[in-house]
Amino acid sequence: MPFFPEATEALIFDMDGTLYDQGRLRRKMYLDLMVGLARNPLFIQEIKVLYAFRKNRERLSENRDGVCSIEKRQYAEVAQALGLDIGKVRHIVNECIFEKPLKHLARCLYPGVKDLFSLLRQKQFKIGVFSDYPCDAKLRALDLQVDVMVCATDEKVDRFKPHPAGLLFAARELGVPVKKCFFIGDRDDKDGECARRAAMPYLILPRRRISILGWYQETCMQISRMDRKMD
């Protein structure tokens, strides 16, 4: 029996913590930050910016009705709070959160993800990714191909999880009814709540790494045994 409803035509994945080990990546990035601080004591300003940026995004996501212009506000509000130029904040965030982690990403990919994606392709499922963070560069670093990638800060979404706008947009882009999509994430308060608001079937992966690895292995076995009848 597959882990998703029989009528499923598309699987939409969260990115961070779902396709790769986010804890392992954070440990690698923490070491990079400590090396940067040791080499340049002024690097402490960048650490303050990163902390404020993450806290501000959490605050923006807690607005149940969503907020507008989040792509700009996530930087502008941090810049105002710290008395910095918005361009400076963008540069620090882009370098430390979006660019530097890419070199570590492939080593943090959960074993079994590539096998799963390959099997989904063979069985003619559509594959999407929906993340609060940009996922194009991450997917290239992980060498994963999808049919649709959606970021919460995209102009046509403009809402962080758990607002369902991004998930509903991903379904439309895939050309698949919401009820025939299946969302897979790792946080019930974000991914699970997002799916519930979108009325989309979903699964929240277990927290422990060994459990996630077992899930990917078992899921690949289940899908490989499936006999899909296509029109």
Domain positions in the chain: 10-21+109-224, 24-104
Cis bond upstream, residue 162 (ω within 30): yes
Q: Mutual orientation of helices 113-122 and 209-224 as an angle, nearest 10°? A: 20
H or E, element range at 170: helix 165-174
Provide the CA 94 distance to its chain's centre, in angstroms: 16
> Which pLDDT band holds residue 231 (cuts at 50, 70, 90)?
very low
Please, what is the average pLDDT of the chain?
A: 90
Distance CA 136, CA 139 (A): 5
- The yes-or-no verdict on residue 230 having pLDDT over 60 is no
- What the block records as the tokens of 63 is 């607005």
Distance CA 44, CA 144 (A): 35
Q: Tell me, what's the pLDDT at 1?
A: 41
Q: Check if the beta carbon of residue 206 is closer than 8 Å to that of residue 212.
A: yes
- What the block records as the tokens of 226 is 């499936």
Mean pLDDT, residues 170-174 taken together: 98
Q: Tell me, what's the pLDDT at 123?
A: 92
Mean pLDDT, residues 195-206 taken together: 95
Q: Has this prediction a pTM greater than 0.75? A: yes
Q: Check if the beta carbon of residue 182 is closer than 8 Å to that of residue 14.
A: no
- The yes-or-no verdict on residue 62 having pLDDT over 90 is no
Classify domain 10-21+109-224 at the CATH topology level.
Rossmann fold (3.40.50)
